[in-house]
A and B are shown apart, each in its own frame.
Chain A
Amino acid sequence: MSVKHALLALLSEGPKYGLQLRQEFEAGTGEVWPLNVGQVYTTLQRLERDGLIESDDDADDGPQKGFRITAEGGEELDQWLHTPPDLSQPPRDELVIKVLIALRVPGVDVGEVIQSHRRYLVELMQQWTRLKEDEANLDLSFALVVDAELFRLDSVVRWLDAADGRLKRAEFDKSIPGATRSQPAPGLPKMRRITGVPR
């Protein structure tokens, strides 16, 4: 989460005081990412040092000091908004690693391992969905945050479902004598490097 750019975005609406910035930051992110008050002021100092914002020269440091964005700050914000975050490398996913390791541990029912994770994820999704049940009082920013979390969790459940199906097909292949097990397509990346699972 870029506090720096969130503060620049708030100042792009017009000059604001430090305390006001903190309150608007929390309101804008639906209070899901509350901000430490110290973080606001250190970030503001850095932004001022880098020439991205300006402050009232004569005011003391603190909640009542006013800030405004500079032209350079506006350019920085615009560039940041249009630059996609780097998603090219798969994250080191603990859940994926657990399922891969479960495949190797004798006596472990991988289907049960998958189901215990699936149940937990759906329970979390039920909690997030409850947050948007009261549509009349649903803040737009907060609804977007809740949707993002639901889609993220949903993608993990879908992966578990796909893994479950793939494991069942592999089990079925093994149960038929003489059946040819499907071979991985050539050129697929080695998972060892990505997940760090010992082979």
Chain B
Amino acid sequence: MSFLELHDVSKTYGEGPSQVHALEHINLEVEAGSLVAVMGPSGSGKSTLLTIAGSLEDPSRGEVMIGGAALSRMSRDGKARLRRRSIGFVFQDFNLLPGLTAAENVSLPLELDGRRASKAHATAVQMLDELGLADRAGAFPDELSGGERQRVSIARAIVGERRLLLADEPSGALDSANGEAVMRMVLAACREGVAAVVVTHDAQLASWADRVMFIRDGRMVDQTNKPMGPDSLLAPATQ
């Protein structure tokens, strides 16, 4: 069963001649444990798609379902609770709070959801440890490299019982080695059952996904077929 579903979602801004159709008739299903990339150029609507999928913005038409629940029937508080408990966001510019350490940044969503500070902190440190960042737990964001900051922001996005990871150009500002490390973390989270959507213009990033959807001018125009096994790329041994 799909954890995230977008049914015939459209989004328009403005009215009359200045009206802009940011998204038109978008259908998207993302199963638990699956990584879907939405690939398109700047201005194609991919970031709008992500904010609507994450309940930060309402669609003009259509329905978004998360974990089987329709967002249109949820109160504002209900959506906020859903975001705290089930959805993690990752952005290109990390969005870590500068006055908090790496561990405090990761534990913050747990504390906002009512966990005791000491327990939330222990969970955050354990999460950083699993991601190879144990020795950076006490560092502030400006003491971390770009790659470390993004890995902390992914830890923050998947800590607790998060089931949906939404990432907007997560490796956009990183070099290729750090970009690969970030995508390995996203993929590892998916293999643990998280449903993830990554929006990007970058084909190398998108190629980590199980499925790549192509968006142009607010419309899904195409998607990749299920990839053949990688063995098909290797030439048969010559005798």
CB within 8 A of A130: which of B204, B216, B224, B227? B227
* A58 part of interface (Cβ distance < 8 Å): no
How many B residues face the partner with a CB closer than 8 A? Answer: 32
Beta-carbon contacts under 8 Å, A118-162 to B: 118-119, 121-131, 133, 135, 147, 150-151, 153-154, 157-158, 161
Measured in the bound complex, the distance between the Cα atoms of B222 and A34 in whole Å is 36
- Report whether over half of chain A's contact residues are helix, strand or loop; otherwise say mixed: helix
Question: A131 with B233: in contact, given A122-B212, A126-B207, A153-B203 (CB under 8 Å)?
Answer: yes
What A residues does B235 contact at CB under 8 A?
31-34
A165: CB under 8 A from chain B?
yes
A158 neighbours in B (Cβ, 8 Å): 203
B239 x A127 contact (CB < 8 A): no
Residues of B within 8 A of A (CB): 39, 41, 176, 184, 187, 201, 203-204, 206-209, 212, 214, 216, 221-225, 227-230, 232-239
**25 A-B contact pairs sorted by A residue (CB < 8 Å):** A26-B237, A31-B235, A33-B235, A118-B214, A119-B222, A122-B39, A122-B206, A122-B224, A123-B227, A126-B208, A127-B227, A127-B228, A127-B229, A127-B233, A128-B233, A129-B207, A129-B208, A147-B176, A150-B204, A153-B203, A154-B204, A157-B203, A161-B41, A164-B41, A165-B41
Extra 10 A-B pairs, beta carbons < 8 Å, given A36-B238, A128-B233: A26-B237, A31-B234, A119-B214, A119-B223, A122-B39, A125-B203, A125-B204, A125-B207, A126-B208, A157-B203
